[in-house]
Amino acid sequence: MSDYSESDAQREVSDLEKKSTTAARLFDIRRIIGGLFVVYGVIVTIAGITASDADLDKAGGININLWTGLGMLALGLFFLAWLWLRPLPVTEPPTGEQPPPTE
């Protein structure tokens, strides 16, 4: 006989479901994209703020690094705000009841 009971199996399944939900929230693509755009946006914005006159002349007088960096920051903050305003729904673990058959 095995010492592994039905309640142990149910407990293990519920623990795995909780870990899966946590991993799904942690690796939500909106968090990854938003974070990367914010980090790169800060770097490019700093490069735009510290641009020399020679760099501005190459771009036709437009500080392209500054504008691109600000755009990247805005996009990254949009993704992070979207994540905050519309988080992933919490999935309820099954209660053991079978759903009615569909025809």
What is the helix, strand, coil percentage profile of the chain, to 5?
Answer: 70, 0, 30
pTM of this prediction exceeds 0.85: no
Q: Are 69 and 46 in contact (CB under 8 A)?
A: yes
User: For 32-56, how does the pLDDT look when each residue is reduced to its tens digit (9 = 90+)?
Assistant: 999 999 999 999 999 999 999 998 9
pLDDT of residue 1: 47
What is d(CA 44, CA 47) in angstroms, rounded to the nearest whole number? 5
- Greater confidence (74 vs 103) lies with 74
Residue 86 DSSP one-character state: S
Q: Are 17 and 93 in contact (CB under 8 A)?
A: yes
